[in-house]
């Protein structure tokens, strides 16, 4: 063909046998790429009255040891200034962090099964921090991809008055005095402590362990022991075996967990339920265990496992269970759990707490 001579038109070529498959693959990869660029749609927050509301303080959710030291030694103004200067640095996870992550794992399962239900865990950050500190808290929550939409920052005032407004089922704080105030107001609450060492916990199943007396149940039996000794206690429990104990401060929280468990049971998922509860008590099974179990039955409640230790240390058993949190009214059981790597929470309720009230009242306030 001479230069400048027009080309003869050519017939269009048929695509090769793998062209359509290759094009579809390119399109699918492009779709995944752009879907990942788009902001992830978060689930809608439930109405507080429909949900199981868990309120956590900032010092329970995150480690704020240095910030608390500044607050205590240098005052609130220096504390706020430090937080503003470091607001782009996320806090490290605190003792309640694995518990909150486990709550969110349960929520994901619930939303898969019941997409229109608001009967899920609703986590509220409840803190007496000033609003200026809020940016660092928000940055930390986003850094760890936590779904916490509700904040209550009270600017130095006690957050206790807001707990009822949020229909709180459980309040966790690092401030023992705030927890006592909540208990006095009839709100389930506990002071949470970091374990002495890190132990891996389940990423797919929420595990919650409860002591019995003065936690799930009233302190009736502990009063008998304190006033009259163990022999009289065993006699009392035998005589009242069929009389349910009065409820303790965390009975309502166990009830809420049981309600959510039944949503999985109704779908045939009892053995795969992502919530598991434990009764871990110093009671002995033969002499005083029946009353505890019959009390739970009378309430229409149950725990997945019941462990009667007859006074043996709880720490080694908790190390095997690996709960996300363990509730007890006795500080020596809390300390024993901590030593074995368990996140433990102290419930300041009942006759065992009376001697501590005066000393606790003298403690300095804290930033939460």
Question: Are the C-beta atoms of 177 and 170 separated by less than 8 Å?
Answer: no
Question: Are the C-beta atoms of 214 and 222 separated by less than 8 Å?
Answer: yes
- The predicted pLDDT at position 347 comes to 97
Query: What SS3 state is found at 121?
Result: strand
pTM greater than the 0.95 cutoff: no
Q: What are phi and psi of 164, to 5 degrees?
A: -70, -35
Angstrom distance (rounded) from CA 240 to CA 251: 20
Question: Are the C-beta atoms of 237 and 295 separated by less than 8 Å?
Answer: no
Angstrom distance (rounded) from CA 237 to CA 182: 30
- How many residues in total does the chain contain? 368
Structure token pair of residue 251: 């009975």
Residues taking part in catalysis:
211
Q: Which parts of the chain sit beneath pLDDT 50? A: 12, 33-39, 357-364
State the CB neighbour count (10 A cutoff) for residue 79: 22
Question: Are the C-beta atoms of 360 and 170 separated by less than 8 Å?
Answer: no
Give the chain's radius of gyration (CA, Å).
27
């Amino acid at each position: 063909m001479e230069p400048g001579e027009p080309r003869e038109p050519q017939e269009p070529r048929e695509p090769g046998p793998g062209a359509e498959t290759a094009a579809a693959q390119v399109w699918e990869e492009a779709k995944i790429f752009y879907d990942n660029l788009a902001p992830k749609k978060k689930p809608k927050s439930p109405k507080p009255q429909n949900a199981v509301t868990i309120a956590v303080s900032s010092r329970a959710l995150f480690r704020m040891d240095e910030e608390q030291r500044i607050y205590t030694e240098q005052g609130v103004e220096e504390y706020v200034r430090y937080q503003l200067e470091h607001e782009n640095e996320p806090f490290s996870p605190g003792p309640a962090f694995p518990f909150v992550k486990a709550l969110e794992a349960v929520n994901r399962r619930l939303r898969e099964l019941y997409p229109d239900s608001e009967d899920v865990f609703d986590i509220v950050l409840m803190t007496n921090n000033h609003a200026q500190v809020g940016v660092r808290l928000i940055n930390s929550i986003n850094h760890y991809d936590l779904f916490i939409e509700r904040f209550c920052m009270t600017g130095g005032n006690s957050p206790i008055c807001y707990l009822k407004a949020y229909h709180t089922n459980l309040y966790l704080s690092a401030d023992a005095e705030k927890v006592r105030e909540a208990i006095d107001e009839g709100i389930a609450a506990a002071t949470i402590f970091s374990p002495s060492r890190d132990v891996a916990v389940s990423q797919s199943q929420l595990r919650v362990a409860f002591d019995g007396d003065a936690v799930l149940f009233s302190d009736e039996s502990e009063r008998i022991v304190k006033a009259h000794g163990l022999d009289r206690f065993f006699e009392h429990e035998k005589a009242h075996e069929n009389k349910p104990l009065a409820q303790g401060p965390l009975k309502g929280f166990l009830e809420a967990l049981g309600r959510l468990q039944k949503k999985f049971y109704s779908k045939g998922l009892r053995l795969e339920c992502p919530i598991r509860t434990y009764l871990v008590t110093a009671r002995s099974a033969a002499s005083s265990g029946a009353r505890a179990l019959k009390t739970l039955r009378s309430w229409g409640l149950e725990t997945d496992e019941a462990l009667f230790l007859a006074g043996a240390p709880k720490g080694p058993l908790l190390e095997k269970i690996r709960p996300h949190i363990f509730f007890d009214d006795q500080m020596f059981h809390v300390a024993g759990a901590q030593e074995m790597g368990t996140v433990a929470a102290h419930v300041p309720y009942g006759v065992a707490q009376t001697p501590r009230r005066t000393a606790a009242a003298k403690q300095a306030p804290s930033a939460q």
